[in-house]
Structure 1
Amino acid sequence: MSYEVQGVIAKGKGAPVTLETVLVPDPGPGEAVVTVQACGVCHTDLHYREGGINDDFPFLLGHEAAGVVEAVGAGVTGLEPGDYVILNWRAVCGNCRACLRGRPWYCFATHNATQKMTLADGTVLSPALGIGAFIEKTLVAAGQCTKVDPRAKPAVAGLLGCGVMAGLGAAINTGGVSRGDSVAVIGCGGVGNAAILGSQLAGAGTIIAVDVDPRKLEWARDFGATHVVNSRESDPVEAIREFTGGHGADVVIEAVGRPETYEQAFYARDLAGTVVLVGVPTPDMRLDLPLLDVFGRGGALKSSWYGDCLPSRDFPMLIDLYLQGRLNLDGFVSETIGLGDVEEAFAKMHRGEVLRSAVVL
């Protein structure tokens, strides 16, 4: 038996997405079917549609999702129908060298569902980030489901499944932002603003937001930035130094993913400061830095993949903080839309009009 549902499909590079009938199989061993209640529209979904990830078309898009478990397969423990969950794209294996060393957030053998979802004619679909959640029901590995407090609204909770977690984790987990630190964030879209929010949560004293869009800088103030810099009008490195007593920031988070902005981050940090790259570069990009400067400045140059998060640890904690009124996740949801509105949401994202559109089913 399978479920026959509607999902958002990218059939070819650059082609507008379409709403299609999708067949979702019953969960097999270690799998779960989840009824999706909401899913954020992330820039990664647009990358898939544009062929920027790979060319395994057709794609079932969507991955920042929350919903309710419909059914579980054989051997699944700790998860049952009716559980309210956030989906993640890194079900850890528990057995690789990272997991066995107590660092499961670095798991080298993360996995997804074994079975495939298909179109009605049998065409196999590639689910975005192993999830595919612009759909009424989706099939995932049971380990991709993290139970959280059901009082959290699905449109908000789902955002922890990717972009917001990436930014929060870049500050808290990867960057190790602590009380009184100075932090600069270059790029104030959804991920960058989440890094600003995470820095505020960690107790940073000075939080500097850098972007070229005045609207995004205003959003940054709402999430806790103490200073903003429009890098079309001012040299961001000089401005960050000015706001930090001439020293540079303790932690600089690059949320754009370009060589130019990474170089700005490198020179805007204090001696022995930390640079965190969370922006996603394209395969053709290269970086040219004087090796003597890398040696002479000390500190740390880090990459943050999914905010170095462990969903079972981080999702429930962050949802609890949200329900306590201590974490402004609501601020990321610019609008709620239907499954048929994803293409227009991509256009709004490209124009910088929204932080996140959230599909609500």
Structure 2
Amino acid sequence: MQQVRGVVARGKGQPVSLETVLVPDPGPGEAVVQVQACGVCHTDLHYREGGINDDFPFLLGHEAAGVVESVGEGVTDVAPGDFVVLNWRAVCGSCRACLRGEPWYCFATFNATQKMTLEDGTELSPALGIGAFIEKTLVHAGQCTKVDASARAAAVGLLGCGVMAGLGAAINTGGVGRGQSVAVIGCGGVGAAAVAGARLSGAARIIGVDIDDRKLETARKMGATHTVNSKETDPVAAIQELTGGHGADVVIDAVGRPETWRQAFYARDLAGTVVLVGVPTPDMKIPDIPLLDVFGRGGSLKSSWYGDCLPSRDFPMLVDLYQQGRLDLDAFVTEEIGIGDVEAAFARMHHGDVLRSVVIL
């Protein structure tokens, strides 16, 4: 058992606090990871606001990279000293998705069995089964993916959630191919990563859509060939005009609102693909679209879970591309902050001032 500092959300809407957390020694299948860097994600804010569930108190943080300190019985894939990126979908290998050869859809992902606690014994709920705004965290060993140890932790740790979600929405879920046209609605952290993913995939025309000119500038830096401010211009008409009147081959909704999903539906070409990667709130409904339009336009309407990634396959590949200078993960790191600065980072995120604040430990 170790005592370390961690960022805890004790109640709905309450400011987070820096607390002493007790981290158990790893049991069978578990690992303790010394966290080096962890991104501040919107999902952490959703946890603090009670938007995920009400299992307070939460140990926040999940976009992390660090070094394995110790492992429990039966762990063979990682060892002490390995540099790893943490993931929240440790595949089981035996559920119906895994057995049919689609482990990225695993329906029985693993988390650590033991609980980290406060000093008084109160059990903590780790964000997405990780909890990485902390000096050391306990996770299932399958949540650790070994990558190139020379990579910058602040950058590659972002593959643990938002950046992977966006990259994967384009590469994996959307299946963007060479020469295709892609539109991305919403160019925050996830949307900007979707733009980067479309560029990696060889898309010929990449259209970034947002209401914030700062985010559109980011989209251009990530590889967008065109941008549309949807506060000033009808995005559906603009995307169609930029694609010969047809619509884009793939449209990615990185916002997750009924109105943006509707825009994505009508901004795609016949037989095109819509990918929903922005996370809606529980009260949101599919917009009123005639069923005949769904039938008549053909194509695919997809949801992207974590960019449909398989960490063991995708993380090392993307880190290698980063190391080669072909994927600019550094561009997603707006600022590096201390572990006591998370609450202030939430405020900057809310105002759209950052792509990612990254806690350095």
In 2, distance between residues paired with 1:83 and 1:328?
23
> What is the CA-CA distance between 1:97 and the residue it aligns to?
1.0
In 2, distance between residues paired with 1:73 and 1:87?
17
In 1, distance between residues paired with 2:205 and 2:338?
39
Q: 1:312 — aligned with what? A: 312
Q: Deviations over 1:231-273 (max 9, x none)?
A: 0100000000010000000000000010000000000000000
Q: 1:125 — aligned with what? A: 124
Q: Deviations over 1:315-348 (max 9, x none)?
A: 0000000000000111000000000000000000
Q: Deviations over 1:57-100 (max 9, x none)?
A: 00000000000000000011121100000000011101111111
In 2, distance between residues paired with 1:272 and 1:139?
45
Task: Please say if 1:103 is aligned against 2:102.
Answer: yes
Q: 1:313 corresponds to which letter in structure 2?
A: R
Unaligned 5+ runs, structure 1: none
| Aligned counterparts, 1:157-236, within 5 A | 157-236=156-235
> SS of the counterpart of 2:3?
strand
Q: 1:301 — aligned with what? A: 301
In 1, distance between residues paired with 2:196 and 2:78?
31
In 1, distance between residues paired with 2:215 and 2:29?
42
In 2, distance between residues paired with 1:34 and 1:250?
42
| Aligned counterparts, 1:251-262, within 5 A | 251-262=250-261
> SS of the counterpart of 1:188?
coil
In 2, distance between residues paired with 1:305 and 1:102?
16
In 1, distance between residues paired with 2:285 and 2:13?
25
Q: 2:61 corresponds to which letter in structure 1?
A: G
Q: 1:337 corresponds to which letter in structure 2?
A: I
Q: 1:347 — aligned with what? A: 347
Unaligned 5+ runs, structure 2: none
Give the TM-score of the pair, scaled to structure 1. 0.99
Aligned length: 360
Q: 1:324 — aligned with what? A: 324
In 1, distance between residues paired with 2:345 and 2:148?
28
Q: 2:8 — aligned with what? A: 9
Q: 1:149 — aligned with what? A: 148
In 2, distance between residues paired with 1:25 and 1:164?
30
In 2, distance between residues paired with 1:6 and 1:120?
11
Q: Deviations over 1:267-319 (max 9, x none)?
A: 00000000000000011101121101000000000000100000000000000
Aligned-pair RMSD on alpha carbons?
Answer: 0.4
| Aligned counterparts, 1:258-269, within 5 A | 258-269=257-268
> What is the CA-CA distance between 1:111 and the residue it aligns to?
1.3
Q: 1:320 corresponds to which letter in structure 2?
A: D
In 1, distance between residues paired with 2:303 and 2:341?
33
> What is the CA-CA distance between 1:130 and the residue it aligns to?
0.1
In 2, distance between residues paired with 1:220 and 1:99?
35
> SS of the counterpart of 1:319?
helix
Q: 2:334 — aligned with what? A: 334
Moved more, 100-109 or 135-144: 100-109
Q: 2:314 corresponds to which letter in structure 1?
A: D
Q: 1:358 — aligned with what? A: 358
